[in-house]
């Protein structure tokens, strides 16, 4: 295989998707998996097995790909930019449902204006903040209730309920911390939904979830659906968090040694193949940019520098680097599989360790 090359281990994807589907069923919620990590139809089909078929996307490009592949119920889980509303509503026409996210009065006004102009009703979820402090209204405020009420009154809006994402789970230090974030994610969402229902607002959907919180969640009472995504591939960050084992990681980048020096190796997978995610520095300050894998497992090498096309690997202890001559192959498991995977226009799928089919992810936004 020419390098750098994105490898996907089919057996791991199959196992990861089956496990999550079963876990979510056992916990009594619907699975609306996120496809942002892999952005390809083949993995999406594995994710929805045994569930209702709804998915979550992070870009309209993903929405278009999956709509064309027959997925009928899609949630676009990023607050929609005003300039993309028309396009999103146009895409929704051919589907059972394309749900948009909003978290401000301005956005509600724009969605209402565009859907009135296009003579459609926009399916909408209100994004609430459960601690990530990125997007979303603060569910403790009166303004949050007022915005939900305004959504439910808007004539061209079909208000579906609320959505939150505990992305701050990635900053946890241990399982106890993860459990606390998972509990809060559920309690904040369900508590807010109850508050809205108390005000006479119908809230059919309570949508929560991330891979780390679903790895530890014990109770999903009151939650209608969950949206994990990273679990399809997992990555070195999930290994560090303890939410998967190294053998569960389905995505890696095959690379070739192009420089072998007494004190360092240079390989052909730089930031353009691995991304430049700093990894779990809060858990492992010297972690570098990924786990280097050789034939025997993890190599004592740190991905120390990532210019555009090269990576510089330094030995973690004084080691003989001559066993990795120019031309030798290594695999690197990145800390953020979604970012690294997004740098490739194809993944080579390994079945039984042998390269077989290729999956073509969608690119663009
Ligand atoms: C809104 C939203 N929902 C769900 C997810 C999936 O979370 P994870 O990738 O941890 O599975 C993400 C990921 O970024 C997200 O932004």
Mutate to test the pocket of ligand 1, among 59, 75, 77 (most ligand atoms within 8 A of CB): 77
- Which residue's CA is the nearest one to ligand 1's atom 14? 167
Q: Does 321 have pLDDT greater than 90?
A: no
* pLDDT tens, residue by residue, 152-180: 999 999 999 999 999 999 999 999 999 99
* pLDDT tens, residue by residue, 176-233: 999 999 999 999 999 999 999 999 999 999 999 999 999 999 999 999 999 999 999 9
* pLDDT tens, residue by residue, 115-150: 999 999 999 999 999 999 999 999 999 999 999 999
Q: Does 322 have pLDDT greater than 80?
A: no
* pLDDT tens, residue by residue, 249-260: 999 999 999 999
The residue among 6 and 278 whose pLDDT is bigger is 6
273 has which bridge partners?
A: none
205 has which bridge partners?
A: 161
Judge if the beta carbon of residue 156 lies within 6 A of ligand 1: no
User: From the CA of 229, how far away is ligand 1's center (Å)?
Assistant: 6
User: From the CA of 238, how far away is ligand 1's center (Å)?
Assistant: 13
Nearest to 239 by CA among 226, 227, 252: 252
Phi, psi angle pair for 21, to nearest 5°: -60, -40
Residue 264's pLDDT is 95
Residue 18's pLDDT is 98
Cβ-based neighbour number of residue 81 at 10 Å: 13
Q: Which helix (H) or strand (E) holds 41?
A: helix 41-47
Using N-to-C axis directions, what is the helix angle for 60-68 and 85-92, rounded to 10°?
10
Structure tokens at 41: 């139809």
Judge if the beta carbon of residue 16 lies within 6 A of ligand 1: no
Whether residue 4 is preceded by a cis peptide bond, meaning omega within 30 degrees of 0, is yes
Mutate to test the pocket of ligand 1, among 167, 214, 337 (most ligand atoms within 8 A of CB): 167
* Atom number in ligand 1 closest to CA 231: 11
* pLDDT tens, residue by residue, 22-56: 999 999 999 999 999 999 999 999 999 999 999 99
Average pLDDT over all residues of the chain: 97
- Which residue's CA is the nearest one to ligand 1's atom 15? 165
Residue 315: helix, strand or coil by DSSP? strand
Judge if the beta carbon of residue 229 lies within 6 A of ligand 1: yes
Q: Does 318 have pLDDT greater than 80?
A: no
User: From the CA of 213, how far away is ligand 1's center (Å)?
Assistant: 10
Residue 230: helix, strand or coil by DSSP? helix
Cβ-based neighbour number of residue 119 at 10 Å: 8
Q: Does 319 have pLDDT greater than 80?
A: no
Q: Which helix (H) or strand (E) holds 191?
A: helix 175-198
Tell me if 171 sits within 8 A of 128, measured CB to CB.
no
Residue 317's pLDDT is 79
- Burial-class residue 204 by CB neighbours within 10 Å (0-12, 13-18, 19+): exposed
Nearest to 95 by CA among 125, 72, 115, 113: 72
| 73-79, strands of its sheet edge to edge | 30-31, 225-226, 205-208, 157-163, 122-127, 97-102, 73-79, 55-57
Nearest to 244 by CA among 10, 13, 8, 1: 13
Alpha carbons 16 and 230: distance in angstroms, whole number: 10
* Atom number in ligand 1 closest to CA 338: 9
Q: Can you list the pairs that 203-208 forms with residues at least 24 positions away whose Cβ atoms lie under 8 Å? A: 203/148, 203/161, 203/162, 204/160, 204/161, 205/125, 205/160, 205/161, 205/162, 205/163, 206/161, 206/162, 207/32, 207/75, 207/125, 207/161, 207/162, 207/163, 207/164, 208/130, 208/163, 208/164, 208/165, 208/166
* pLDDT tens, residue by residue, 286-307: 999 999 999 999 999 999 999 9
User: From the CA of 294, how far away is ligand 1's center (Å)?
Assistant: 30
Residue 323's pLDDT is 85
* Atom number in ligand 1 closest to CA 227: 4
Alpha carbons 57 and 235: distance in angstroms, whole number: 19
User: From the CA of 257, how far away is ligand 1's center (Å)?
Assistant: 34
Residue 258's pLDDT is 98
Structure tokens at 343: 């740098």
């Amino acid at each position: 295989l020419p390098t750098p090359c994105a490898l996907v281990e089919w057996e791991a994807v199959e196992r990861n998707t089956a496990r999550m589907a079963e876990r979510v069923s056992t916990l009594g919620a619907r699975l609306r998996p996120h496809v942002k990590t892999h952005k390809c139809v083949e993995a999406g089909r594995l994710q929805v097995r045994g569930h209702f078929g709804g998915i979550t996307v992070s870009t309209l490009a993903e929405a278009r790909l999956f709509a064309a592949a027959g997925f009928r119920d899609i949630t676009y889980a990023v607050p929609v930019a005003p300039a993309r509303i028309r396009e999103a509503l146009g895409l929704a026409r051919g589907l059972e449902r394309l749900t948009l996210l909003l978290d401000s009065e301005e956005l509600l006004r724009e969605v209402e204006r565009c859907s009135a102009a296009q003579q459609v009703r926009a399916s909408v979820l209100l994004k609430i903040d459960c601690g990530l402090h990125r997007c979303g209204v603060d569910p403790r405020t009166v303004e949050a209730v007022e915005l939900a009420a305004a959504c439910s009154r808007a004539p061209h809006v079909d208000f579906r309920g609320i959505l939150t994402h505990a992305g701050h789970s990635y900053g946890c230090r241990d399982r106890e911390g993860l459990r606390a974030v998972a509990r809060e994610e559920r309690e904040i969402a369900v508590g807010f939904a109850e508050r809205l229902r108390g005000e006479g607002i119908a809230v059919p959907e309570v949508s929560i979830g991330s891979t780390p919180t679903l790895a530890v969640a014990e109770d999903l009472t009151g939650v209608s659906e969950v949206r994990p995504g990273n679990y399809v591939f997992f990555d070195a960050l999930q290994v560090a968090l303890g939410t998967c084992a190294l053998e569960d990681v389905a995505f890696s980048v095959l690379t070739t040694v192009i420089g072998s020096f007494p004190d360092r190796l240079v390989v052909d997978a730089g930031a353009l193949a691995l991304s430049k995610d700093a990894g779990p520095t809060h858990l492992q300050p010297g972690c570098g940019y990924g786990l280097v894998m050789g034939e025997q497992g993890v190599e004592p090498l740190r991905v120390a520098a990532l210019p555009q096309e090269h990576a510089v690997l330094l030995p973690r202890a004084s080691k003989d680097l001559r066993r990795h001559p120019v031309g030798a192959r290594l695999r690197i498991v990145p800390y953020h599989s979604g970012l690294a995977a997004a740098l490739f226009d194809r993944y080579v799928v390994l079945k039984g360790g042998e390269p077989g089919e290729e999956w073509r992810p969608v690119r663009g936004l």
